[in-house]
Amino acid sequence: MTALALTVNRREVELLAEPRTSLADIVRDKLDLTGTHLGCEHGVCGACTILLDGVPVRSCITYAAACAGADVTTIEGLDGDEIAIELRAAFTREHALQCGYCTPGMLVSARDLVLRLPEADERQIRIGMSGNLCRCTGYVGIIRAVGFVIAERRARGIAPEPDGGRRLLGPAGSGHGSFGLDERQDTTRPTPLATAEAKIASDVATDFRPAAVIAQSFEVAHAPDKVFALFADIAAVASCLPGVTLESASDPQHIRGEIRVQLGPIVASFVGVAQVEQDPSTMSGRIVGAGDDRRSRSSAQGEIRYALAPIRLGAATRVDLSIGYTLTGLLAQVGRAALVRDVARRLVAAFADNLDRNLSGDAPGESRQQETINALTMLVDILRERVPRWLGGGGRH
């Protein structure tokens, strides 16, 4: 049995449940909220639809244990909801129910459409309600009722909410009940910064062993001592890295900041800490850091080891980098080793360009001016390079 804490219809509840128990069984059997109906129990009919962190979900195929801390609203919790009240009246007026078994799920799904759709478009309503099956009505009255409420609300100047309550990345319920992380902080759970600090302490003590390592090198037309001095200036190094902002850099053993990364529609902000170590005798150093992105519930740990070597009779410097990282959580699922290496190569190239500009007294280039690392743009560039090569290779065999 697993201890489970939920907010159900604005009431805090704690109970014990088997890990395999569905959310539908919890609200019906444990909390006696039988307005949530079970039909197919395969997530097809929609009768069991409820709101999880404001988003409609099939409660029959949602594990309760995966929703610890989430905000659950059943049809009973919508008694005083303005949209639900209008929908119930419209359903009655349009004869949009007969036996009523599917109606709780219908109302929850319809409420979501009323929130999101900008106008009462019948086609969009039919598509939106297609996941809720009814054996009695023929759907005509249901579509009319939903369309009527949408039209009435827009006529009253009530604007649609395009996201319809979707505030967090990932499956509904995975955000531990936060409609917005700023509105409801869990004071018992460590903050991203505290978690990152603990990881950093562990990494420094045990010598971090990353899951993947990427080696890169580049050259700059400046002497090694000048380059090494810039690497000691954390603020200057951060200004050369796309997507990085610093909150505090006065203590090399406790640097606080954020790095923003964009993967298509996904924008992650890793808040964390870093430590810097340098060895002047070997012109080398190490930066080790850790951070968490609370939206995607992903964590990153990494280190950059660098060594400087004089070239061109000491007039220039070769910078050898070893980039190690471990990524966990939702964002770890979108990474592929070959593509990650190519993205890293392009990031290093941008860093090298900005580093050279900084050493020359110029402002960082356009890559630094972008507040977010847009990995999708980089991947498009990579594919433009690779696809002709792949096709050409395929033609030779």
3-state secondary structure of 352: helix
User: Would you report the helix, strand and coil content of the chain in percent, each value rounded to 5?
Assistant: 40, 25, 35
Q: What is the pLDDT of residue 128?
A: 93
Q: Which two tokens stand for residue 198?
A: 């603990």
Q: Which two tokens stand for residue 165?
A: 């309550």
Percent of the chain with pLDDT over 90: 42
**Closest by alpha carbon to 223, among 321, 318, 350, 354?**
318
pLDDT tens, position by position, 117-128: 999 999 999 999
Q: Which long-range contacts (CB under 8 A, 24 or more apart) does 247-254 make?
A: 252/276
Average pLDDT for 318-344: 70
CB atoms within 10 A of CB 344: 18
pLDDT tens, position by position, 262-311: 655 556 777 888 888 899 999 999 888 888 877 666 777 888 889 999 99
Residue 146 to residue 129: CA distance in whole angstroms: 9
Query: Please, is 279 exposed, middle or buried when counting C-beta atoms within 10 Å of its C-beta (0-12, 13-18, 19+)?
Result: exposed
Q: What is the pLDDT of residue 258?
A: 83
pLDDT tens, position by position, 41-65: 999 999 999 999 889 999 999 999 8
| pLDDT over 80 at 377, yes or no | no
CATH for the stretch 192-396: 3.30.530.20
Q: What is the pLDDT of residue 392?
A: 59
Query: Please, is 173 exposed, middle or buried when counting C-beta atoms within 10 Å of its C-beta (0-12, 13-18, 19+)?
Result: buried
E-strand ranges in the chain read: 2-8, 11-17, 49-52, 55-58, 71-73, 212-220, 244-248, 255-263, 266-279, 284-293, 298-311, 316-328, 373-374
Domain map (residue ranges) of the chain = 192-396
Q: What is the pLDDT of residue 389?
A: 56
Strand-pairing partners, residue 299, are 292, 328
**Would you say 266 and 245 are in contact if contact means Cβ atoms under 8 Å apart?**
no
Average pLDDT for 330-351: 65
| pLDDT over 80 at 98, yes or no | yes
Residue 111 to residue 105: CA distance in whole angstroms: 10
Whether this model's pTM surpasses 0.85: no
Q: Which two tokens stand for residue 288?
A: 């080790």
Q: What is the pLDDT of residue 124?
A: 94
